[in-house]
Chains A and B, each alone.
Chain A
Amino acid sequence: MATGRINRAAYLFILPTFAALIGLKYYPAASAVYHSFFQWDGATVGRFVGLANYVQLFRDEIIHVSAINIVKFIIGRVALNLVFPLLAAKLVFHVRHQGAAYLYRVLLTAPIVVPVMVILLLWKFIYHPYDGLLNQLLEAVGLGAWRRAWLGDFETALYAVIGLGFPWVTGIGSAGFAFLIYLGGLQSIPREIFDAAAVDGAVSLRRFFRVELPMIASQLKLILILTVINTMESYVPVMVMTGGGPGVSSMVPGLYLYESAFLYDKFGYASAIGVVMTIILLIVTTISQRSIKSYSEAEP
């Protein structure tokens, strides 16, 4: 009986969380699905248009370009988030001096606290065609011919946004935690496994690929899924750095959704974009979830 009372009290306490979740997450999502069948300006009563928004969406050239861009974006960010924070974590993991390891950990994670907007504005300045650090560096090392308006060039704008955040150990947003997650994963590998691997002759690269990497597969999966979701949803870096331009060369679906809703008063159409993005995200994350098996999930 006492347990039942405690449970009821516990449910009572989590009620506000559920209420907030329903009000702030599930209701807007359901509303978006509903309004995706309307021509709606976000304020006045909409007009039911059936599947017209979805038909328009598949015919929209900007959607086609932004879909290709987001695939490039996801591939780029996944590669950066999987490789560089992992390399850094691996290096710090092998630092024997405790004090030095602590110092490296702090130095590599400290940039996480810098607000995203500051990082973006800083990189915008680094890419500046006249005063930017990147062009000045190229000039200084005798590669002046490579100078260009990185964010104003149709060929480079998208890649400049993908590549911001060098040396990519602490990415922007939640990807910034990748380094810590990898390091935590490496530190949780039992010492005996390394000893056994050493006896079997697995050292350096072999140890990394045969022992460490399989043991942190669940961390890799987590970062992969988080990066895919964040990149798909994210539009702020593009909005701040290029506004989707020049032309639509760096446009992404999230930014187009935002513009359709708030600048063009097409909330119904924006809802349709959001619904399709959510469906694609669900499919991609399900595939990622199933295709990578962690050590504990692996067949014996």
Chain B
Amino acid sequence: MTRRTALSLWFILLVSVWLAGGALALAQDQEIVIRMYAGDYTPRERTQSDRWDPPSYLNVLAQEYKKLHPHVTIEFLPEITPQDRFDTWIFTQYQAGRGPDLGTQLFSEVNRHYLKGWYVNLKPYLEKPNPYVEGNKRWADIFQPGALATGVAPDGNMYVLPTGVVGTGIYYNKDIFARVGVEPPETWAEFMEIQRKIQAAGYIPFAFPMAGAKATTNWSLRVIQDMILDSKLPEIKGTGEPVVRTMIEGEGISQKELVRAIKKGVYSAKDPQWQEQLRLLKEWSQYWGPGYLSLDPDAAYRLFVTGRAAMLYDTSAKIKVLETDNLRQFEFGVFDFPRITQESSPYATGVSAPAVGGYTGAGSWTVAATTIEKGIVDQVIDWLMFITAPQNYIPLANDLGWYSPGLIDLEGIDPKLEPFIRSVENGVFRIESFYRGLTVEYADQFYRVLQEYLTGRKNLEQATDEIQRYMEQAADELIERNGWTDLLAELGA
């Protein structure tokens, strides 16, 4: 090939790329494409491997929106699971300037990343009227106050609108309970006793997954810790006043208060009262069946739905799934986590178990900062306003059947979600240190040591020595990351 031919080929290639780019820009002037990551709400067709109906209602909303705004197309991005894969995906997408124009991401994740400049501050938009809600003068007025409060970042802005309310409960197999002759327990002692009987009858009492997602362990420890440290919470908070339960995670003991308590030694893994939660969890672990360290949530669910395990701790997201799963051949019910009493622990005050949940379901909406550069931010906000209008959001939530939208007007919501919503309204856990409370790294470190403790590879002293060290590292890291110089001054460092 001659030099002239080669140069000609290069020239043709460059012109083609330029022309294609121009054509694309021209098309973009006329058409707006909103790339949306809807998480659990991602619409898709039912496949042969599905044992229940996947959600599809966002397709309906997108079509209705298209009728109102013919130049706007909503492109749904595929759902990414599990959480750690999602974390990687979202990080790389945003860093490459390809973050979803409208996404859903947990408030704690958004708070971890907001300093990177990925998100639009939604506060000014919430002050504007929502044109899709009749008579609305201020968009914020349609949301529950808790949703708005949960979405506020440490800098006071609002980079996420967390509208998905989720609750948890212990699902149980009514048939097994009837066969064994036990009732849903109210106290921890009763809980242990019915599990002993269920195990003796040849069933796995509790499908407890400790591989993959760490949710079941985290929820359990949050609930147990809240009850066991009930008498100590005023000291941890630093006010001396009783710490009340609300619907908002982190409103009891904030991250900063927890860090202060760690640095002052008030919250410590070496404290026998703190260690009590590990002892109770270990006591419980004898009923999780062999191999719980290799059970992921799907495998645990399968043990429960096939009638081999009698109980499963899960969210409101499992109701519809269990109801429609053709593997299930039994009746199921849900009960609240049992109360820990003096009969089981000297540190119990008799306070009831808190709910685990809150505004942490899918529907924690974020808008990418790149939408400003692309000139489509107003259109994306308009689409979000359209979705969150009650006449659209309620059928969307019912179609999925997992979460209740954090709206004030919940008329028409699936009544099966009501017990979960009620439990969350009664108040969620006041202190959290196993997942979002400190750092992700600490949560992993703690979890690994916990596994060694539960299986007897480390005794309580060895485990808590290690946990305490990790906890202090996490506290120092958070002080540095957040620039809590006032805290340093208070601590005299």
Interface set of A (CB-CB < 8 Å, partner B): 5-6, 8-9, 12-13, 41-44, 127-130, 148-154, 157, 242-243, 245-248, 258-260, 262-266
Contacts and interface: CB of A to CB of B under 8 A. Distances in A.
Contacts of B330: none
Contacts of A128: 294, 299
Interface in B335-375: none
B190 to A, nearest CB: 27
A148 to B, nearest CB: 8
Contact of B455 (A42, A43, A129, A154): A154
Contacts of A8: 3
B84 A12 contact: no
A243 B91 contact: no
B293 A262 contact: no
Given A5-B3, A247-B451, A259-B444, A242 B295 contact: no
A262 B88 contact: yes
B115 interface: yes
B322 to A, nearest CB: 19
A43 B3 contact: no
A263 B3 contact: no
Contacts of B94: 43
What are the nearest 10 A-B pairs in CB distance? A152-B294, A129-B291, A149-B291, A152-B293, A43-B116, A264-B441, A151-B294, A9-B6, A246-B293, A262-B88
30 contacts: A9-B3, A9-B6, A43-B113, A128-B299, A129-B290, A129-B291, A129-B294, A130-B291, A149-B292, A151-B211, A152-B292, A152-B294, A152-B295, A154-B455, A242-B294, A243-B212, A246-B211, A246-B293, A246-B294, A246-B451, A246-B455, A247-B452, A247-B457, A262-B87, A262-B88, A263-B84, A263-B441, A263-B444, A264-B439, A264-B441
A149 B293 contact: yes
B157 interface: no
Contacts of B115: 44
A44 B293 contact: no
Contacts of B292: 149, 152
A229 B98 CA distance: 32
A127 B452 contact: no
A41 B116 contact: yes
Contacts of B3: 5, 8-9, 12
Nearest to A135: B291
A264 B448 contact: no
A5 B91 CA distance: 46
B451 to A, nearest CB: 5
B95 A42 contact: yes
Contact of A152 (B10, B117, B291): B291
Interface residue SS majority, chain B: helix
Interface in B1-45: 1-3, 5-7, 10
Given A9-B1, A130-B291, A42 B91 contact: yes
Interface in B218-267: none
A187 to B, nearest CB: 36
A265 B440 CA distance: 9
Contacts of A259: 444
A263 B440 contact: yes
B282 interface: no
A112 to B, nearest CB: 25
User: Which of A41, A43, A157, A246 has the most chain B CB within a 10 Å cutoff?
Assistant: A246
Contacts of A148: 290-291
B112 interface: yes
A12 B116 contact: no
A81 B308 CA distance: 40
Nearest to B302: A131
A262 B91 contact: yes
Contacts of B441: 260, 263-264, 266
Interface in B84-118: 84, 87-88, 91, 94-95, 112-113, 115-117
A248 B448 contact: yes
Nearest to B90: A262
B2 A130 contact: no
B62 interface: no
B116 A247 contact: no
A157 B451 CA distance: 14
Contacts of B84: 262-263
A129 B295 contact: yes
B417 interface: no
B74 interface: no
A60 to B, nearest CB: 11
A13 B6 contact: yes
Interface in B418-454: 439-441, 444, 448-449, 451-452
Contacts of B113: 43
Nearest to A260: B441
B1 A242 contact: no
Given A149-B291, A149-B293, 4 more contacts: A5-B2, A12-B7, A152-B294, A154-B455
A88 B204 CA distance: 44
A68 to B, nearest CB: 16
Contacts of B310: none
B10 A12 contact: yes
A153 B444 contact: no
B110 to A, nearest CB: 14
Contact of A6 (B1, B211, B293, B452): B1
Contacts of B6: 9, 12-13
